[in-house]
């Protein structure tokens, strides 16, 4: 039991690291896959592992009973240390053999279910028209077949459960880490805005509330705030106001821009776009709405 638990921990740790690495590079859709989907996806492995254990139980019951094939001599002392060691080792190899047969019939392979490409997956050995595992049979298929059978044969349902639980915990842990990182990033962005951007704007006579109201007004009439920022940088605000005044639907933006620029020294106006350039478009929409 200790040996099985040790191997189970090692393999589960390996698969957990593999899943975490894949989650780092995979699309967001995979990160948000619920844990129960993994259980459903890998449920056939549990079924096969359970079947293998039942087959072994039936086999050893017959083996240890006297007068029954395949061992009519039976086993006089099933608690003998040598017999226990023999039974454990034989169970692992017999379980692997049964698992190889069942996986060959069902094509239920661990890494295939998880969507991972095994080494040499593109190296085709042969293909057939019988379906299942023997269609497009590659070296990767063979490796996946043997690894899955070995996990089931040497670990049984306990190890399979441990692997799935490890994968689910790894997925949940990864999701929590992403949420924590997103929260930390949000806090840093808020700190940047409140402790640097907003004070720098106020030094130039710009309040955050007035800038936010201006952006909302511009957006409501279909004028991009970037157009205003560009005109401030180039010193062409009057040209922009003339263009906006020519269209009745954008006339409200003219009054909003003039009201906003009142009290801001002309030499300070070109500095406003430079300060807002410290924010990404997403951050600017978040804090200013435009």
Give me the DSSP letters along 140-185. HHHHHHHHHHHHHHHHHHHHHHHHHHHHHHHHHHHHHHHHHHHHHH
Tell me if 148 is assigned to some domain.
yes
Q: Do 65 and 169 reside in the same domain of the chain? A: yes
Whether residue 173 sits in one domain with residue 213: no
Interval 144-155: pLDDT, tens: 999 999 999 998
Per the CB < 8 A criterion, the answer to whether 17 and 171 are in contact is no
Q: For residue 17, what are its two tokens?
A: 């690291």
Q: Tell whether 35 and 90 lie within a shared domain.
A: yes
Quick one: 148 and 248 in the same domain? no
Range of the domain at 248: 204-288
With 50 as the cut, is the pLDDT of residue 16 above it? Answer: no
For residues 124 and 219, membership in a common domain is answered with: no
- Sort 113 into a burial class: Cβ within 10 Å, 0-12 / 13-18 / 19+: middle
Q: Within a domain: residue 283?
A: yes
Per-residue pLDDT, averaged over 78-101, amounts to 94
Q: Determine, yes or no, domain membership for 26.
A: yes
41 plus 161 within the same structural domain = yes
pLDDT for 2 equals 40
Q: Are residues 164 and 250 in the same domain?
A: no
pLDDT, one tens digit per residue, over 200-232 is: 999 888 889 999 999 998 988 888 899 989 898
Answer yes or no: do 82 and 35 share one domain: yes
pLDDT of residue 104: 93
Tell whether 252 is covered by a domain.
yes
Please, what is the average pLDDT of the chain? 82
Asked whether residue 33 carries a pLDDT value surpassing 80, the answer given is no
Asked if 89 and 130 sit in the same domain, the reply is yes
User: Judging by DSSP bridges, how do beta strands 124-126 and 137-138 pair with one another?
Assistant: antiparallel
Q: Report the chain's C-alpha Rg in angstroms.
A: 34
pLDDT at position 5 is 41
Residue 53 is assigned to a structural domain of this protein: yes
198 in any annotated domain: no
Exposed, middle or buried: residue 7 (CB in 10 Å: 0-12, 13-18, 19+)?
Answer: middle
Token pair listed for 99: 């698992």
Residue/partner pairs of 113-122 with CB below 8 Å, 24 or more apart: 113/41, 113/42, 113/44, 113/45, 114/19, 114/41, 114/42, 114/167, 116/18, 116/22, 118/143, 118/144, 119/143
162, 148 contact by CB (below 8 A): no
* Structural domain total, the chain: 2
> What's the mean pLDDT in 70-94?
93
pLDDT level of residue 99 (50, 70, 90 thresholds): very high
Do 98 and 214 belong together in one domain?
Answer: no
Same domain, 81 and 218: no
Q: Is residue 192 part of a domain?
A: no
What are the structure tokens assigned to 61, written together?
């019951």
> Quick check: 160 and 152 in contact, CB under 8 A?
yes
**What CA dihedral angle connects 59, 63, 67 and 72, to 10 degrees?**
120
Q: Is residue 265 part of a domain?
A: yes
pLDDT at 9 over 70: no
214 with 90, same domain: the answer is: no
Burial of 19 (0-12, 13-18, 19+ CB in 10 A): buried
């Amino acid at each position: 039991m200790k040996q099985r638990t040790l191997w189970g921990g090692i393999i589960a740790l390996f698969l957990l690291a593999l899943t975490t690495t894949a989650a780092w590079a995979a699309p967001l859709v995979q990160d948000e896959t619920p844990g129960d989907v993994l259980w459903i996806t890998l449920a056939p492995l549990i079924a096969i592992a359970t079947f293998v254990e039942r087959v072994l139980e039936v086999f050893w019951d017959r083996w240890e009973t006297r007068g029954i094939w395949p061992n009519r001599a039976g086993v006089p002392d099933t608690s003998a240390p040598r017999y226990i060691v023999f039974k454990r080792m034989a169970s692992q190899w017999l379980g692997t053999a049964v698992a190889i047969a069942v996986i060959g019939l069902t094509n239920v392979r661990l890494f295939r279910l998880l969507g991972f490409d095994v080494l040499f997956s593109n190296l085709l050995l042969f293909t057939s028209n019988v379906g299942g595992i023997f269609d497009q049979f590659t070296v990767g298929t063979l490796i996946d077949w043997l690894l899955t059978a070995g996990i089931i044969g040497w670990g049984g349902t306990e190890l399979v459960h441990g692997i799935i639980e490890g994968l689910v915990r790894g997925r949940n842990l990864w999701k929590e880490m992403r949420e924590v990182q997103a929260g930390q990033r949000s806090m840093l962005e808020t700190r940047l805005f409140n402790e640097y951007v907003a004070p720098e704007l106020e030094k130039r006579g710009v309040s955050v509330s007035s800038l936010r109201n201006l952006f909302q007004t511009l957006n409501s009439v279909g004028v991009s705030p970037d157009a205003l920022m560009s005109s401030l940088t180039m010193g062409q605000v009057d040209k922009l106001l003339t263009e906006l005044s020519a269209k009745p639907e954008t006339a409200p933006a003219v009054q909003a821009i003039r009201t906003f620029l009142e009290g801001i020294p002309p030499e300070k106006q070109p500095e406003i776009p430079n300060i807002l350039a410290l924010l990404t478009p997403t951050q600017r929409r978040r804090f200013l709405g435009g």
